[in-house]
Structure 1
């Protein structure tokens, strides 16, 4: 049965369209030069098989067709969408609202809203707010001929990371000095009181802990600039094309048993989902985090789960997990993680399950 949605496409000129509408308005991210080109192709072709746009009277839920803007001028944005919001509220319908992945907890004064925001803190998660995955091209299809290359279990676990973790591998200058200050403040427990300023300091702290260990094999490629910053995706001091960097980024995951997944600017990790896509095991540092479908999927049993307070013992956690998993279970877990990504975390997998959130909200309301 199709999920019936009502929206107002005239609002598309008021902001950035949500990806959920791609089957109906076309793939607005079709730039062939983008390293993420193709990530919505399957959803574009198959989305109408399980989604339908209909009237407000017949719909299962309404959809705000653009991301909820809290960056430029939230009050101006709310005024621009007020007519649609009032229409939905008069009809007594639920409304799906998407915000950006790195947006902190915000107040969205909309009745019956079901909100998707990946940067929320678990301790502050409202009952109507849910995390949602980052979407990207299928790494195995694009970079590995569609093949899930299973790794056998070795005596020592190989832990990978390719990315930006200041102040590590940063030339002396303002960026390095700021990175050092944040890292020191992180160690001192000061930065934890200001989670919006933690940035990449936990990455550096985790990598330092892993580099010190003799019980793991590190597979680190530390970048000298932010991946999506003005300098593109060059790694270290070697200039690379975006395509070359992406290829080596994926190779780093595939050629490791485990991949370090720690928050960056926002309290979420794109790398967590990229690791699952490759059928590899995340080493996930829990910084009061939320993960999609955490009431359906026991994430702690599927990855090396490291609490924030235990980050300096991260190598011990990896070794304990690795020593306690059998050769068969190690291989089976790789297969299972890839399956979870396909079933729940691709655009089709996630958007097919929107009814889960709508029905859950109905259950909450009926029990209130």
Structure 2
């Protein structure tokens, strides 16, 4: 059991603040969805009782609300007690955290720009096999001669939109360098245009079978919960009916689809744009996905085909089952924070 401390009074003053994910499990778990976390972490009232402390809200919230001084005062008080402090960066672009010695959790960012104590964590979402796909409809797929690669999402050849996307990135980067925004600079990247480009290449390859639904806008532009549910069902049905799923970053340098693919027991094909994946020192990601390195995108089709052709039916089934189990055991909110529990005791963990 790890005793953890946070500023609960600050949470009461700011009930709408964007909370550290562990907060939900320890303080706001009304449906008892995250009970297992409490077997590993105990929230204590006194800083003297704690082994680790964490800021209750994201850095984005502290900076946007001009509360940085309060956040850094909390860090200083914890450091006086020799406590490690865990912090959280949210959003696609992210913000630059304090220069004080803290551990930073985030699911976006660039591997080449990784902070000394940065911990990559996965996107958290509902179990698709509980909420969207009936388990009896979810079967381990049989290996066909041609790999079946699926995708549902925003992908468009619209050059005007691509120019606009890049223009907005340039504009935000300039604002950062002028001190007008806290959002970190991003690589110039028009994600929907690049997705369209790669997907069309896959469609043209005679030895690859594709299962692709193009969207002009995110979630097909839906605005109601009912419509959002419909597109989510379609999204997971597409994954269910595919062997592999194409993954390329969005506005931020990470892909929620990557984790959703694993949760469905399918195999991600990840265009690696200098990505940070969780627990890279623990998980051998080469056993769970096809990772196309930056600069090797032209080898995408060849790598997919070689990977698929080298699999026996037994190994193909084994990877599907292993990917689902990986998500269950390491990448849900509960499993990730139970796995990270022991690592937090190691001051040298990075």
Match of 1:65 in 2: 56
Alignment of 1:295-334 (within 5 A): 295-334=281-320
1:123 aligned to which of 109, 112, 121:
112
Report how far residue 126 of structure 1 moved: 2.1
Q: TM-score, normalised by structure 2?
A: 0.85
Does residue 177 in structure 1 map to residue 160 in structure 2? yes
For residue 197 of structure 1, give the secondary structure of its aligned residue in structure 2.
Answer: coil
Cα distance in structure 2, aligned partners of 1:166 and 1:71: 36
The partner residue of 1:163 within 153, 156, 161 is 153
Residues of 1 paired with 2:113 and 2:332: CA distance?
26
Q: d(CA) in 1 for partners of 2:97 and 2:85?
A: 15
Mapped pair 1:363 → 2:348? yes
TM-superposed CA distance for 1:199, in Å, is: 4.1
**1:78 equivalenced with 2:68 (yes/no):** yes
Post-superposition offset of 1:232: 3.4
CA 1:134–1:213: 2 relative to 1, 3 Å = same
Partner residue, 2:77:
87
Instruction: Give 1:232's aligned residue.
Output: 223
Please state if 1:102 is matched with 2:92.
Answer: yes
2:211 to 219, 238, 256: 219
In structure 2, what is the Cα distance between the partners aligned to 1:297 and 1:250? Answer: 25
Alignment of 1:173-212 (within 5 A): 176-179=159-162, 195-200=186-191, 201-212=193-204
C-alpha offsets along residues 46-94 of structure 1, whole Å, 9 cap, x if unaligned? Answer: 33222201232222210111111169637x2212323322211211210
| Runs of 5+ consecutive residues of structure 2 not aligned to the other structure | 167-184
TM-score normalised per structure 1: 0.81
Which has the higher mean CA deviation after the structures are superposed, 50-59 or 344-353?
A: 50-59
Q: Does 1:10 align with 2:6?
A: no
Task: State whether structure 2 residue 11 is matched by structure 1 residue 26.
Answer: no
Q: 1:125 to 1:354 in 2, by over 3 A?
A: same
Structure 1 residues 103 and 177, CA gap change in structure 2 (3 angstroms) = closer
**Distance (Å, rounded) in 2 between the aligned partners of 1:311 and 1:205:** 11
Name the CA shift for 1:22/1:6 in 2 (closer, same or farther; >3 Å). same
Tell me if the contact between 1:103 and 1:117 (Cα under 8 Å) persists in the aligned partners: no
**Distance change (3 Å), C-alpha of 1:209 and 1:357:** farther
CA–CA separation in structure 2 for the residues paired with 1:7 and 1:105: 21
Structure 1 residues 128-137 or 55-64, which shifts more? 55-64
Using the TM superposition, name which of 52-61 and 133-142 deviates more. 52-61
Contact persistence 2:103–2:117 (CA under 8 A): yes
Q: How far off its partner does 1:41 sit? A: 5.3
Q: Per the alignment, in what secondary structure is the counterpart of residue 47 of structure 2?
A: coil
CA distance in structure 1 between the partners assigned to 2:305 and 2:62 by the alignment = 42
**2:322 paired residue number:** 336
1:206 offset after TM fit, Å?
1.9
2:242 — aligned with what? 256
- The reply on whether 1:141 has 2:130 as its aligned counterpart is yes
CA RMSD of aligned residues (A): 2.5
Query: Aligned equivalents of 2:145 and 2:188: distance in 1?
Result: 38
Instruction: Specify the alignment match of 1:52 in structure 2.
Output: 42
The whole-number CA distance in structure 2 between the counterparts of 1:19 and 1:181 is 33
- Conserved? CA contact 1:135–1:347, under 8 Å: yes
Q: Does the 8 Å contact 1:114/1:357 carry over to 2?
A: no
Q: Distance in 1 between matches of 2:63 and 2:21?
A: 20
Q: Is the 8 A contact 1:97 1:114 kept in 2?
A: yes
Distance 1:228 1:181, change over 3 A: closer
5+ residue gaps in structure 1? 29-39, 171-175, 184-193, 235-239
